[in-house]
Chain A
Amino acid sequence: MGEVVVVTSGKGGVGKTTAVANLGVGLATLGKKKVALVDTDIGLRNLDVVMGLENRIVYDLVDVVEGTCRLRQALIKDKRYEGLYLMPAAQTRDKNAVTPEQMRKLCADLRSEFDYVLIDCPAGIEQGFRNAVAGAQRAIVVTTPEVSAVRDADRIIGLMEADELDDIKLIVNRMRMHMVKRGDMMDLEDIREILSVPVIGVVPEDEVIVVSTNRGEPAILEGKARASQAYQNITRRLMGEEVPLMPLEARNGMVGALRRLIGLDKA
Protein backbone atom coordinates (compact mmCIF):
# COMPACT_ATOMS: atom_id res chain seq x y z
CA MET A 1 0.00 0.00 0.00
CA GLY A 2 1.54 3.31 -1.08
CA GLU A 3 1.29 6.78 0.37
CA VAL A 4 -0.67 9.72 -0.97
CA VAL A 5 1.13 13.03 -0.43
CA VAL A 6 -0.56 16.31 -1.37
CA VAL A 7 1.68 19.25 -2.30
CA THR A 8 -0.12 22.49 -1.53
CA SER A 9 0.52 26.15 -0.66
CA GLY A 10 -2.54 28.36 -0.58
CA LYS A 11 -0.80 31.07 -2.61
CA GLY A 12 -0.09 30.53 -6.27
CA GLY A 13 3.30 30.72 -7.94
CA VAL A 14 5.41 29.51 -5.03
CA GLY A 15 6.61 26.33 -6.74
CA LYS A 16 4.12 23.54 -6.01
CA THR A 17 4.22 22.09 -9.50
CA THR A 18 8.00 22.33 -9.69
CA ALA A 19 8.23 20.54 -6.34
CA VAL A 20 5.89 17.75 -7.49
CA ALA A 21 7.85 17.25 -10.73
CA ASN A 22 11.23 17.16 -9.00
CA LEU A 23 10.17 14.96 -6.09
CA GLY A 24 8.42 12.62 -8.53
CA VAL A 25 11.58 12.17 -10.59
CA GLY A 26 13.60 11.90 -7.36
CA LEU A 27 11.45 9.14 -5.88
CA ALA A 28 11.44 7.21 -9.16
CA THR A 29 15.20 7.47 -9.81
CA LEU A 30 16.98 7.81 -6.43
CA GLY A 31 14.40 5.74 -4.59
CA LYS A 32 13.50 3.33 -7.43
CA LYS A 33 9.87 3.75 -6.40
CA LYS A 34 6.75 3.45 -8.47
CA VAL A 35 5.30 6.95 -8.52
CA ALA A 36 2.11 8.54 -9.84
CA LEU A 37 1.87 12.33 -10.18
CA VAL A 38 -1.69 13.65 -10.24
CA ASP A 39 -2.47 17.18 -11.44
CA THR A 40 -5.66 18.33 -9.71
CA ASP A 41 -5.58 21.87 -11.07
CA ILE A 42 -8.56 21.32 -13.35
CA GLY A 43 -8.88 24.08 -15.95
CA LEU A 44 -5.34 25.38 -15.38
CA ARG A 45 -3.20 22.27 -15.73
CA ASN A 46 0.56 22.74 -15.83
CA LEU A 47 2.28 19.68 -14.41
CA ASP A 48 2.21 18.22 -17.93
CA VAL A 49 4.32 21.05 -19.40
CA VAL A 50 6.69 21.19 -16.44
CA MET A 51 7.25 17.45 -16.94
CA GLY A 52 7.53 17.86 -20.72
CA LEU A 53 4.69 15.40 -21.31
CA GLU A 54 2.12 17.80 -22.78
CA ASN A 55 2.13 16.10 -26.18
CA ARG A 56 1.20 12.71 -24.84
CA ILE A 57 -2.14 13.47 -23.19
CA VAL A 58 -5.11 11.44 -24.35
CA TYR A 59 -7.26 11.02 -21.25
CA ASP A 60 -7.28 12.97 -17.99
CA LEU A 61 -8.41 12.94 -14.36
CA VAL A 62 -12.00 13.90 -15.16
CA ASP A 63 -12.23 11.09 -17.76
CA VAL A 64 -11.21 8.59 -15.09
CA VAL A 65 -13.63 9.95 -12.51
CA GLU A 66 -16.51 10.00 -14.99
CA GLY A 67 -15.71 6.51 -16.23
CA THR A 68 -14.89 7.60 -19.80
CA CYS A 69 -11.65 5.63 -19.57
CA ARG A 70 -9.92 3.20 -17.23
CA LEU A 71 -7.39 4.39 -14.64
CA ARG A 72 -4.42 3.00 -16.57
CA GLN A 73 -5.41 4.74 -19.79
CA ALA A 74 -5.06 8.18 -18.18
CA LEU A 75 -1.63 7.43 -16.68
CA ILE A 76 1.10 8.68 -19.01
CA LYS A 77 4.29 6.64 -18.62
CA ASP A 78 7.36 8.87 -18.48
CA LYS A 79 9.80 6.98 -20.67
CA ARG A 80 12.82 8.83 -19.28
CA TYR A 81 12.34 7.63 -15.70
CA GLU A 82 11.48 4.05 -14.88
CA GLY A 83 8.39 3.80 -12.69
CA LEU A 84 7.13 7.40 -13.12
CA TYR A 85 3.60 8.15 -14.35
CA LEU A 86 1.54 11.32 -14.76
CA MET A 87 -2.20 11.75 -14.60
CA PRO A 88 -2.98 15.12 -16.17
CA ALA A 89 -5.85 17.40 -15.14
CA ALA A 90 -8.64 18.23 -17.57
CA GLN A 91 -8.10 21.57 -19.23
CA THR A 92 -11.59 22.36 -20.47
CA ARG A 93 -13.57 21.66 -17.33
CA ASP A 94 -13.81 23.34 -13.94
CA LYS A 95 -13.02 22.26 -10.42
CA ASN A 96 -16.58 21.21 -9.69
CA ALA A 97 -16.27 18.37 -12.22
CA VAL A 98 -14.74 16.30 -9.41
CA THR A 99 -15.87 15.76 -5.80
CA PRO A 100 -13.77 14.99 -2.71
CA GLU A 101 -15.50 11.60 -2.52
CA GLN A 102 -14.38 10.74 -6.06
CA MET A 103 -10.84 11.86 -5.23
CA ARG A 104 -10.74 9.61 -2.17
CA LYS A 105 -11.71 6.66 -4.36
CA LEU A 106 -9.14 7.57 -7.02
CA CYS A 107 -6.36 7.94 -4.44
CA ALA A 108 -7.27 4.58 -2.88
CA ASP A 109 -7.06 2.93 -6.31
CA LEU A 110 -3.70 4.55 -7.07
CA ARG A 111 -2.29 3.65 -3.66
CA SER A 112 -2.76 -0.01 -4.32
CA GLU A 113 -0.55 0.19 -7.41
CA PHE A 114 2.03 2.84 -6.58
CA ASP A 115 4.54 3.42 -3.76
CA TYR A 116 3.94 7.16 -3.85
CA VAL A 117 1.10 9.24 -5.21
CA LEU A 118 1.97 12.95 -5.35
CA ILE A 119 -0.99 15.29 -5.73
CA ASP A 120 -0.35 18.71 -7.27
CA CYS A 121 -2.92 20.98 -5.61
CA PRO A 122 -4.31 24.16 -7.19
CA ALA A 123 -3.84 27.52 -5.46
CA GLY A 124 -6.69 28.76 -3.29
CA ILE A 125 -8.81 27.20 -0.57
CA GLU A 126 -11.93 26.30 -2.55
CA GLN A 127 -13.21 23.10 -4.12
CA GLY A 128 -9.95 22.35 -5.96
CA PHE A 129 -8.05 22.41 -2.67
CA ARG A 130 -10.71 20.29 -0.98
CA ASN A 131 -10.45 17.73 -3.78
CA ALA A 132 -6.66 17.64 -3.67
CA VAL A 133 -6.41 17.00 0.06
CA ALA A 134 -9.37 14.59 0.28
CA GLY A 135 -7.45 11.37 -0.36
CA ALA A 136 -4.08 12.35 1.13
CA GLN A 137 -2.38 10.90 4.22
CA ARG A 138 0.47 13.40 4.22
CA ALA A 139 0.91 16.98 3.09
CA ILE A 140 3.84 19.06 1.96
CA VAL A 141 3.25 22.79 2.17
CA VAL A 142 5.40 24.89 -0.16
CA THR A 143 6.04 28.49 0.79
CA THR A 144 8.48 31.26 -0.06
CA PRO A 145 10.08 33.71 2.39
CA GLU A 146 7.42 36.38 1.83
CA VAL A 147 4.69 37.66 4.15
CA SER A 148 1.89 36.77 1.71
CA ALA A 149 3.08 33.21 1.01
CA VAL A 150 3.71 32.33 4.67
CA ARG A 151 0.38 33.82 5.70
CA ASP A 152 -1.45 31.68 3.13
CA ALA A 153 0.55 28.64 4.22
CA ASP A 154 -0.67 29.23 7.77
CA ARG A 155 -4.27 29.35 6.56
CA ILE A 156 -4.14 26.06 4.69
CA ILE A 157 -2.23 24.34 7.48
CA GLY A 158 -5.14 25.32 9.73
CA LEU A 159 -7.69 24.00 7.22
CA MET A 160 -5.86 20.69 6.83
CA GLU A 161 -5.50 20.23 10.58
CA ALA A 162 -9.21 20.86 10.97
CA ASP A 163 -9.69 18.08 8.39
CA GLU A 164 -7.50 15.80 10.52
CA LEU A 165 -4.72 15.76 7.98
CA ASP A 166 -1.91 16.50 10.39
CA ASP A 167 1.21 14.88 8.92
CA ILE A 168 2.33 18.21 7.46
CA LYS A 169 5.85 19.17 6.38
CA LEU A 170 7.16 22.45 5.02
CA ILE A 171 9.34 23.32 2.02
CA VAL A 172 10.71 26.85 2.04
CA ASN A 173 11.35 27.59 -1.61
CA ARG A 174 13.31 30.31 -3.42
CA MET A 175 15.44 31.26 -0.46
CA ARG A 176 18.07 33.88 -1.31
CA MET A 177 20.79 33.52 1.25
CA HIS A 178 22.63 36.71 0.32
CA MET A 179 19.43 38.65 1.08
CA VAL A 180 18.89 36.79 4.36
CA LYS A 181 22.47 37.60 5.27
CA ARG A 182 22.02 41.32 4.81
CA GLY A 183 18.71 41.19 6.67
CA ASP A 184 16.43 41.78 3.70
CA MET A 185 14.70 38.42 3.73
CA MET A 186 13.04 36.40 6.49
CA ASP A 187 15.21 33.50 7.56
CA LEU A 188 14.21 29.88 8.09
CA GLU A 189 13.91 30.29 11.85
CA ASP A 190 11.36 33.12 11.53
CA ILE A 191 9.20 31.01 9.23
CA ARG A 192 9.59 27.78 11.18
CA GLU A 193 8.64 29.52 14.40
CA ILE A 194 5.55 31.22 12.99
CA LEU A 195 4.15 28.13 11.25
CA SER A 196 5.34 25.56 13.83
CA VAL A 197 5.49 22.81 11.23
CA PRO A 198 8.56 20.58 10.66
CA VAL A 199 10.73 21.69 7.73
CA ILE A 200 11.45 18.95 5.17
CA GLY A 201 13.69 21.16 3.06
CA VAL A 202 14.88 24.56 1.96
CA VAL A 203 15.37 25.19 -1.75
CA PRO A 204 17.59 28.09 -2.78
CA GLU A 205 16.56 30.37 -5.61
CA ASP A 206 18.35 28.89 -8.60
CA GLU A 207 18.31 29.67 -12.33
CA VAL A 208 18.59 25.97 -13.04
CA ILE A 209 14.87 25.71 -12.20
CA VAL A 210 13.94 28.26 -14.88
CA VAL A 211 16.11 26.52 -17.47
CA SER A 212 14.78 23.07 -16.65
CA THR A 213 11.18 24.28 -16.71
CA ASN A 214 11.84 25.85 -20.13
CA ARG A 215 12.92 22.45 -21.39
CA GLY A 216 10.36 20.33 -19.55
CA GLU A 217 13.04 18.32 -17.77
CA PRO A 218 12.95 18.45 -13.96
CA ALA A 219 16.24 19.78 -12.53
CA ILE A 220 16.69 17.35 -9.66
CA LEU A 221 19.28 15.24 -11.47
CA GLU A 222 21.38 18.28 -12.54
CA GLY A 223 24.27 17.19 -10.33
CA LYS A 224 25.88 20.25 -8.84
CA ALA A 225 23.08 22.81 -8.93
CA ARG A 226 22.06 23.85 -5.41
CA ALA A 227 18.33 23.56 -6.03
CA SER A 228 18.86 20.07 -7.46
CA GLN A 229 20.77 18.99 -4.37
CA ALA A 230 18.05 20.46 -2.17
CA TYR A 231 15.40 18.41 -4.00
CA GLN A 232 17.53 15.26 -3.77
CA ASN A 233 17.71 15.77 -0.01
CA ILE A 234 13.97 16.36 0.26
CA THR A 235 13.35 13.16 -1.70
CA ARG A 236 15.45 11.20 0.80
CA ARG A 237 13.68 12.79 3.78
CA LEU A 238 10.32 12.00 2.20
CA MET A 239 11.37 8.34 2.11
CA GLY A 240 12.21 8.51 5.81
CA GLU A 241 15.99 9.02 5.65
CA GLU A 242 17.59 11.43 8.11
CA VAL A 243 19.40 14.02 6.03
CA PRO A 244 20.65 17.19 7.75
CA LEU A 245 19.53 20.50 6.24
CA MET A 246 22.25 21.62 3.85
CA PRO A 247 24.20 24.74 4.67
CA LEU A 248 22.64 27.44 2.54
CA GLU A 249 25.23 30.10 3.18
CA ALA A 250 25.80 31.94 -0.06
CA ARG A 251 29.49 32.30 -0.45
CA ASN A 252 30.32 35.97 -0.46
CA GLY A 253 33.62 37.79 -0.60
CA MET A 254 36.83 36.57 -2.17
CA VAL A 255 36.22 32.84 -1.94
CA GLY A 256 32.76 33.13 -3.44
CA ALA A 257 33.94 35.40 -6.23
CA LEU A 258 36.73 32.97 -7.02
CA ARG A 259 34.40 29.95 -6.99
CA ARG A 260 32.02 31.75 -9.31
CA LEU A 261 34.89 32.77 -11.58
CA ILE A 262 36.08 29.21 -12.05
CA GLY A 263 32.52 27.95 -12.33
CA LEU A 264 32.23 25.98 -9.10
CA ASP A 265 29.35 28.16 -7.95
CA LYS A 266 26.65 29.84 -9.95
CA ALA A 267 26.66 33.62 -9.94
Chain B
Amino acid sequence: MALLNRIFGRSESSGKVASERLRKVVVQDRANVSPQTMDQMRTQVLNKLAEYMEVDEKNSSITISANEGSVNLVANIPIRRMKRGKH
Protein backbone atom coordinates (compact mmCIF):
# COMPACT_ATOMS: atom_id res chain seq x y z
CA MET B 1 0.00 0.00 0.00
CA ALA B 2 2.79 2.38 0.97
CA LEU B 3 4.50 1.56 -2.28
CA LEU B 4 1.33 2.20 -4.30
CA ASN B 5 0.84 5.49 -2.53
CA ARG B 6 4.36 6.52 -3.36
CA ILE B 7 4.03 5.56 -7.00
CA PHE B 8 0.96 7.72 -7.31
CA GLY B 9 2.59 10.48 -5.30
CA ARG B 10 -0.02 10.34 -2.58
CA SER B 11 2.20 10.33 0.48
CA GLU B 12 5.73 11.11 1.57
CA SER B 13 8.01 8.32 2.72
CA SER B 14 7.68 7.70 6.46
CA GLY B 15 11.39 8.39 6.98
CA LYS B 16 10.94 11.93 5.62
CA VAL B 17 7.84 12.40 7.74
CA ALA B 18 9.81 11.29 10.82
CA SER B 19 12.66 13.66 10.13
CA GLU B 20 10.33 16.62 9.58
CA ARG B 21 8.37 15.90 12.76
CA LEU B 22 11.63 15.53 14.65
CA ARG B 23 13.00 18.85 13.40
CA LYS B 24 9.89 20.66 14.62
CA VAL B 25 9.71 18.99 18.00
CA VAL B 26 13.41 19.59 18.67
CA VAL B 27 13.06 23.30 17.87
CA GLN B 28 10.12 23.48 20.26
CA ASP B 29 12.02 21.59 22.99
CA ARG B 30 15.06 23.81 22.65
CA ALA B 31 12.83 26.90 22.80
CA ASN B 32 11.86 25.94 26.34
CA VAL B 33 14.56 28.12 27.77
CA SER B 34 14.97 28.40 31.54
CA PRO B 35 13.95 31.74 33.14
CA GLN B 36 17.60 32.39 34.11
CA THR B 37 18.82 31.92 30.54
CA MET B 38 15.94 34.05 29.26
CA ASP B 39 16.88 36.80 31.70
CA GLN B 40 20.53 36.62 30.73
CA MET B 41 19.63 36.81 27.06
CA ARG B 42 17.35 39.78 27.65
CA THR B 43 20.09 41.68 29.48
CA GLN B 44 22.60 40.92 26.74
CA VAL B 45 20.24 42.01 23.97
CA LEU B 46 19.39 45.25 25.76
CA ASN B 47 23.07 45.99 26.45
CA LYS B 48 23.91 45.47 22.80
CA LEU B 49 21.06 47.70 21.69
CA ALA B 50 22.20 50.39 24.12
CA GLU B 51 25.20 50.97 21.85
CA TYR B 52 22.85 52.24 19.18
CA MET B 53 19.83 53.60 20.96
CA GLU B 54 18.30 54.50 24.26
CA VAL B 55 15.54 52.03 25.07
CA ASP B 56 12.84 51.82 27.70
CA GLU B 57 14.12 48.78 29.60
CA LYS B 58 11.26 48.70 32.10
CA ASN B 59 8.65 48.33 29.38
CA SER B 60 10.65 45.89 27.26
CA SER B 61 9.77 42.28 26.81
CA ILE B 62 11.55 39.47 25.02
CA THR B 63 9.81 36.12 24.77
CA ILE B 64 10.01 32.92 22.80
CA SER B 65 6.69 31.77 21.46
CA ALA B 66 6.14 28.41 19.84
CA ASN B 67 3.06 27.44 17.93
CA GLU B 68 2.27 24.94 15.22
CA GLY B 69 5.71 24.21 13.95
CA SER B 70 7.19 27.68 14.06
CA VAL B 71 9.13 29.14 16.94
CA ASN B 72 9.67 32.89 17.15
CA LEU B 73 11.61 35.30 19.29
CA VAL B 74 9.24 38.14 19.97
CA ALA B 75 10.82 41.35 21.22
CA ASN B 76 8.90 44.45 22.12
CA ILE B 77 11.37 47.16 22.98
CA PRO B 78 10.27 50.81 22.97
CA ILE B 79 12.99 53.16 21.69
CA ARG B 80 13.33 56.47 23.49
CA ARG B 81 16.06 57.98 21.37
CA MET B 82 18.44 56.88 18.64
CA LYS B 83 22.10 57.65 19.19
CA ARG B 84 23.98 59.72 16.69
CA GLY B 85 26.98 58.71 14.61
CA LYS B 86 27.49 55.08 15.44
CA HIS B 87 25.39 53.67 12.60
- Report the nearest A residue to B25, measured CB to CB: A151
B13 near A: Cβ within 8 Å? yes
- Report the nearest B residue to A150, measured CB to CB: B22
Q: How far is the CB of A93 from chain B (nearest CB, A)?
A: 31
Q: How far is the CB of B38 from chain A (nearest CB, A)?
A: 14
Indicate the member of A158, A180, A183, A185 with the most B CB atoms within 10 Å: A183
B26 cross-chain contacts in A, Cβ below 8 A: 150-151, 154, 194
B16 near A: Cβ within 8 Å? yes
Q: How far is the CB of B53 from chain A (nearest CB, A)?
A: 32
Indicate the member of A146, A187, A194 with the most B CB atoms within 10 Å: A194
Q: How far is the CB of B27 from chain A (nearest CB, A)?
A: 10
Indicate the member of B6, B16, B22, B29 with the most A CB atoms within 10 Å: B22
Q: How far is the CB of B14 from chain A (nearest CB, A)?
A: 5
What interface size band does chain A fall in?
10 to 19
Q: How far is the CB of A248 from chain B (nearest CB, A)?
A: 15
A184 near B: Cβ within 8 Å? yes
Are B29 and A151 interface neighbours, CB within 8 A?
Answer: yes
A146 cross-chain contacts in B, Cβ below 8 A: 18
A154-B23 contact given A184-B2, A185-B15, CB 8 Å threshold? no
Are A183 and B15 interface neighbours, CB within 8 A?
Answer: yes
B19 near A: Cβ within 8 Å? yes
Are A147 and B13 interface neighbours, CB within 8 A?
Answer: no
A183 cross-chain contacts in B, Cβ below 8 A: 6, 13-16
Are B22 and A151 interface neighbours, CB within 8 A?
Answer: yes
From 177 to 196 in chain A, residues with beta carbon under 8 angstroms from any chain B beta carbon are: 179-180, 182-187, 190, 194
A184-B15 contact given A151-B29, A154-B29, A158-B30, CB 8 Å threshold? yes
A237 cross-chain contacts in B, Cβ below 8 A: none
Assembled-state Cα–Cα distance A187/B16 (Å): 9
Are A186 and B13 interface neighbours, CB within 8 A?
Answer: no
Q: How far is the CB of B22 from chain A (nearest CB, A)?
A: 5
A194 cross-chain contacts in B, Cβ below 8 A: 19, 22-23, 26
B2 cross-chain contacts in A, Cβ below 8 A: 184
- Report the nearest A residue to B21, measured CB to CB: A147
Are B29 and A155 interface neighbours, CB within 8 A?
Answer: yes
From 147 to 203 in chain A, residues with beta carbon under 8 angstroms from any chain B beta carbon are: 147, 150-151, 154-155, 158, 179-180, 182-187, 190, 194
Q: How far is the CB of A165 from chain B (nearest CB, A)?
A: 17
Are A186 and B21 interface neighbours, CB within 8 A?
Answer: no
Are B15 and A147 interface neighbours, CB within 8 A?
Answer: no
A selection of 28 A-B contacts at a CB cut-off of 8 Å is A146-B18, A147-B21, A147-B22, A151-B25, A151-B26, A151-B29, A154-B26, A154-B29, A154-B30, A155-B29, A179-B15, A180-B15, A182-B13, A183-B13, A183-B16, A184-B2, A184-B14, A184-B15, A185-B15, A185-B18, A186-B15, A186-B18, A186-B19, A186-B22, A187-B15, A190-B22, A194-B22, A194-B23
Binding site for A on B (CB under 8 A): 2, 6, 13-16, 18-19, 21-23, 25-26, 29-30
